[in-house]
Chain A
């Protein structure tokens, strides 16, 4: 158990819908990262937050957005869902954004878009 929690574990929805994925980082970790793992794209970085502020953006679609709240939990919002958005979405956390800090991954949320 990494200490990072993600809810829900599984999500099944239809095209065009909107969903919210939730992540709680390890106690004391201020930085949160979101990654997407799909068959087509492999594992890729989406977005990073540090202490409530967006820190870095990767290959995140405009239909996707995220935020980190004052209690440090983070949410990833996916809208106008398409079949290709079906993937495993991971949240990871680290104490700070420093490269020396290990990123610990949550168990992931499996999103299926029908």
Chain B
């Protein structure tokens, strides 16, 4: 079974600075997708960014980018120019392209943004 690990329960960053959230995963599959979801205090799950495992190029979405290291099974999220609205729980998630397509989530990282 696949597992996703987020080793940082909490992180903090100064407004306008850059922060990196870590995620590692374990799988024997080669065809899969990785995601970062944001959960603000409203509890809504919001997709931040996705990465296809077959793509070598790291995904970027505006201020959000990932560092995908397939051999190391590492998938970190970098947030540049942090804003107060970025404060939330961030979940890393894995999704197989073969069986079930359900998301397997990590335990989450709480990001605090200091003004």
A48 CA to B101 CA, complexed, in Å: 9
Mostly, the A contact residues are strand
A108 CA to B41 CA, complexed, in Å: 13
Q: Which of B37, B91, B97, B108 contacts A99 (CB 8 A)?
A: B97
Q: Which of B52, B91, B97, B101 contacts A43 (CB 8 A)?
A: B91
- Given A90-B45, A107-B44, A108-B43, do A42 and B100 touch, yes or no (CB 8 Å)? no
- Is A67 in contact with chain B by the CB < 8 A criterion? no
Contact size range, B: 20 to 34
Which residues of B (47-63) have their CB < 8 Å from a CB of A? 47, 50, 52
A56, B43: Cβ atoms closer than 8 Å: no
Q: Which of A35, A102, A105 contacts B50 (CB 8 A)?
A: A102
B101, A42: Cβ atoms closer than 8 Å: no
- Is B96 in contact with chain A by the CB < 8 A criterion? yes
A105 surroundings in chain B (CB, below 8 A): 37, 44-46
5 cross-chain CB contacts under 8 A:
A58-B102, A92-B103, A98-B97, A105-B37, A108-B43
A positions within 8 Å CB-CB of B: 2, 31, 33, 35, 42-45, 48, 55-56, 58, 88, 90, 92, 94, 97-105, 107-108, 110
